[in-house]
């Protein structure tokens, strides 16, 4: 593929920075827009993009993607948009539902409107398995009913619908990728694998909310990035992007303790409102239409993450932050 110019919203975050890293390796120009929100330490996000700052193919636009003037500037010459900016976090959405709505739903609408006045060929939207919510059957396929159980899930479903409507009404090519519990190097410090691994490396207790029997389909960030890059040339509508191998939170904690040769013990706390009971992806549609399938097993991914946490100076900053 010839050199192209891409915009990554939320590009200093976990998944966005990995997408940028891979686009730059392919020789593409990348504009990153990020407001370095204080939801978690902005310095961690700045470190995510440190290695890009001297690259002539990389440009940082610092600010909120909801700012139409700033967005117009960032979209100049852009052909593909990877929309990763979001107010993440199911639990925080239960406590303060307006912020995820304003960023994830209204913000996505603002982005799509701005894109109509540009030369963008396609918007690749980061969605979430949280759009499913209540389980009627497993694994989830894309036809499973959408009954989100958190404001976060609702906001991501609204963003999907805006993408669909803009394709149907205005001819803007869009695709929404429903990520299933993404993990890997540079992941947010408030996520379970990050918290559990940090505790295990310090031989500290691991706290599980609820009885630990909720299950998740953990998907490595490398597999997520591959799906995004494929969608530059293929795909329309929505796709599940998940490993298709669900494990319980209890099993996850035990695996992390084993991998890190830790002396950590497991404790239990009250369950948290808004958490889905189970997630498990059917990615058959992604395989048939995109040629994508997961490649990184949970065991391999957890081993990679433990090694990164142990060796990376960036990770060590996270390691010495208080365990949540």
278 exposure class (CB count in 10 Å sphere: 0-12, 13-18, 19+): middle
Q: How many CB atoms lie within 10 A of CB 55?
A: 13
CA-angle at 98, arms to 96 and 102, nearest 5°: 135
How far from the centroid of its chain's Cα atoms is residue 307's Cα?
21
In the residue annotation, 179 being an active-site residue is answered as no
Give the integer Cα–Cα distance in Å for 21 and 74.
Answer: 18
Give the three-class secondary structure for 179: strand
- Tokens 């990389």 correspond to 58
Rg of the chain, C-alpha, whole Å: 19
Please, which residues have CB within 8 angstroms of residue 228's CB and are 6 or more apart in sequence? 19, 82, 124, 177
Instruction: Please check whether residue 50 is in contact with residue 92, taking contact to mean a CB–CB distance below 8 angstroms.
Output: no
- 324/322 Cα distance (integer angstroms): 6
**By C-alpha distance, which of 66, 63, 72 is closest to 103?**
66
- Please, how many CA atoms are within 13 Å of residue 297, restricted to the half-sphere of its CB? 4
Catalytic residue among 152, 162, 183, 239: 152
Phi and psi at 200, nearest 5°, equal -65, -40
Torsion over CA: 122, 128, 132, 137 (sign): positive
* Token pair of 291 as six digits: 């040629």
128 with 156: CB under 8 angstroms? yes
**66 Cβ partners below 8 Å, 6+ apart?**
102, 103, 106, 107, 110
Active site residues: 152
């Amino acid at each position: 593929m010839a050199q192209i110019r891409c915009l990554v919203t939320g590009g200093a975050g976990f998944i966005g920075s990995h997408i940028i890293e891979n686009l730059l390796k392919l020789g593409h120009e990348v504009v990153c827009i990020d407001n370095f929100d204080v939801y978690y330490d902005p310095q961690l996000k700045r470190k995510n993009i440190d290695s890009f700052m001297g690259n002539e193919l990389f440009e940082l636009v610092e600010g909120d993607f909801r700012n139409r003037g700033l967005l117009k500037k960032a979209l100049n010459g852009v052909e593909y948009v990877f929309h990763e900016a979001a107010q993440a976090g199911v639990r925080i959405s239960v406590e303060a539902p307006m912020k995820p709505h304003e960023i994830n739903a209204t913000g996505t609408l603002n982005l799509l409107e701005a894109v109509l006045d540009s030369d963008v060929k396609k918007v690749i939207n980061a969605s979430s398995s949280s759009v499913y919510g209540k389980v009627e059957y497993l694994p989830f396929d894309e036809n499973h009913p959408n009954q989100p159980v958190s404001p976060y899930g609702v906001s991501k479903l609204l963003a999907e619908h805006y993408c669909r409507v803009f394709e149907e009404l205005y001819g803007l090519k869009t695709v929404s990728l429903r990520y299933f519990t993404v993990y890997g190097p540079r992941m947010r410090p408030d996520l379970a694998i990050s918290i559990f691994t940090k505790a295990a490396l310090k031989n500290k207790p691991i706290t599980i909310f609820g009885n630990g029997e909720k299950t998740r389909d953990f998907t490595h960030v490398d597999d997520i990035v591959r799906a995004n890059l494929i969608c530059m040339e293929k795909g329309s509508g929505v796709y599940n992007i998940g490993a298709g191998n669900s494990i319980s939170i209890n099993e996850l904690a035990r695996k992390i303790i084993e991998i890190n040769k830790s002396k950590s013990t497991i404790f239990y706390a009250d369950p948290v409102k808004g958490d889905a009971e189970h997630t498990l992806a059917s990615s058959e549609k992604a395989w048939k239409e995109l040629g994508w399938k997961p490649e990184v097993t949970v065991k391999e991914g957890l081993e990679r993450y433990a090694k990164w946490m142990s060796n990376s100076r960036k990770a060590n900053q996270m390691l010495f932050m208080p365990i949540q």
